[in-house]
Amino acid sequence: MGRSPGATVSVMTSTRYRLTQYAHGGGCACKIPPGELETIVQGLAGVDSPDVLVGLDTGDDAAVVRIQDGIAVVATADFFTPVVDDAYDWGRIAAANALSDVYAMGGRPVVAVNLVGWPRDVLPVELLREVLRGGLDIAREAGCVVGGGHSIDDPEPKYGMAVTGIADPDRLMRNDAAEPGLPISLTKPLGVGVLNNRHKATGEVFAQAVDCMVGLNREASEAALAAGVRAATDVTGFGLLGHLYKMARASGVTAVVDSASVPYVDGARQAVADGYVSGGTRRNLDWVRPHLSAGVDDDELILLADAQTSGGLLVVGEVPGARVIGRTVARRDAAIVVR
Ligand code: CO
Ligand code: CO
């Protein structure tokens, strides 16, 4: 072709390499299953101090520690294997997902560092550069500084960020603060998990799903704070049902989900019907089922349990622009009722 090898690589990278084929699992669906994780960390405790506002015990989105009157530090990390083939999009998705846990607590991200695993013998470093460029673009959009990070040679590509933010300690959105008698709101449609799984299997690209995943939860978080919301989390690998269960359990309420009002990305329902359901999603449903009273069939429950990557905020309260998908009520036998 008469080009230098470097130029050939940069022209070919976006088409020749399907990044999802280098991953054993996909995105937040490659999380360690929720029940297993809780067993692992059970009984492990860190520093016990009144300034630890959110620690390990309630399984919240991030750790929050008060550092002085009126200021708390919010710390979180998230990384995963490729969820899409395109390197730049994967970088954007992983960054938006990592930043999301700060927004889910009601915080503002301030500084992040990259976390990278890269099979340098197998994949060109130009592709890694695209991943990092995607991450930087999203961090810039969030007004969050990215300062270096850590990278290792790894047989499987992995990317994410450790993010540090700040929050007002008196205005945190916690997963254990849901009150009964409030609407439950969801700020992004569900279904990106099953579409990512289909993308991995077939190479079909789902632009609406990508748009959802690269979207920051900043506006949703600010709107929720402005509305006086006290309880929120983000919907990621454990799916809507998993994260809602964690919230209902930690708060001692029951969540009633009106399944007909839950929004989905185009094609999600068809992808479930066509069998592109991940093992992670099935494990989510298995985990929640003993705490669930369901008046809908299993296909509907699978959609509600779909392992999300960079999903929206799940808010107990009303948020302008977000879909109301149910209501909290005083605790009943089941932590979640789906009708
Ligand atoms: Co989270
Ligand atoms: Co997370």
CA–CA gap between residue 152 and residue 155 (Å, rounded): 10
Residue-by-residue DSSP string for 96-163: HHHHHHHHHTT-EEEEEEEEEEE-TTTS-HHHHHHHHHHHHHHHHHHT-EEEEEEEEE-SS-EEEEEE
Q: Is residue 58 in some structural domain?
A: yes
Token pair 């439950």 in the structure block, residue:
184
Based on the domain organization, do 149 and 53 belong to the same domain? yes
Q: Is residue 39 in some structural domain?
A: yes
Structure tokens at 310: 């960079």
Residue-by-residue DSSP string for 38-52: HHHHTT------TTE
Based on the domain organization, do 76 and 154 belong to the same domain? yes
Based on the domain organization, do 216 and 141 belong to the same domain? no
Give the domain range for residue 334. 183-338
Based on the domain organization, do 196 and 246 belong to the same domain? yes
Based on the domain organization, do 119 and 37 belong to the same domain? yes
Calculate the CA 278 to chain-centre distance. 16
> What distance in angstroms lies between residue 10's CA and the mean position of ligand 2's atoms?
32
> What distance in angstroms lies between residue 17's CA and the mean position of ligand 1's atoms?
30
Contact 99, 109 (CB under 8 A): yes
Contact 51, 70 (CB under 8 A): no
Ion ligand 1: residue ranges with CB closer than 5 A: 61, 101, 234
Alpha-carbon dihedral sign for residues 166, 170, 176, 177: negative
Structure tokens at 213: 């995943």
Contact 235, 317 (CB under 8 A): no
Contacts of 4 (CB under 8 A, 6+ apart): none
> What distance in angstroms lies between residue 6's CA and the mean position of ligand 2's atoms?
36
Based on the domain organization, do 206 and 290 belong to the same domain? yes
Structure tokens at 258: 């009106």
Based on the domain organization, do 318 and 262 belong to the same domain? yes
Based on the domain organization, do 240 and 115 belong to the same domain? no
Q: Is residue 46 in some structural domain?
A: yes
Residue-by-residue DSSP string for 251-318: HTEEEEE-GGG--B-TTHHHHHHTT---HHHHHHHHHHGGGEEESS-HHHHHHHH---SS--EEEES-
Contact 55, 63 (CB under 8 A): yes
pLDDT tens, 41-85? 888 877 789 999 998 877 788 999 999 999 999 999 999 999 999
pLDDT in tens, the chain (339 residues): 333 444 444 444 455 899 999 988 655 556 788 788 888 888 887 778 999 999 887 778 899 999 999 999 999 999 999 999 999 999 999 999 999 999 999 999 999 999 999 999 999 999 999 999 999 999 999 999 999 999 999 999 999 999 999 999 999 999 999 999 999 999 999 999 999 999 999 999 999 999 999 999 999 999 999 999 999 999 999 999 999 999 999 999 999 999 999 999 999 999 999 999 999 999 999 999 999 999 999 999 999 999 999 999 999 999 999 999 999 999 999 999 999
Contact 187, 217 (CB under 8 A): yes
CATH code of the domain in which 134 resides: 3.30.1330.10
> What distance in angstroms lies between residue 305's CA and the mean position of ligand 2's atoms?
16
Q: Does residue 28 carry a catalytic annotation?
A: yes
Amino acid at site 17: Y
Catalytic position from the list 28, 30, 144, 212:
28
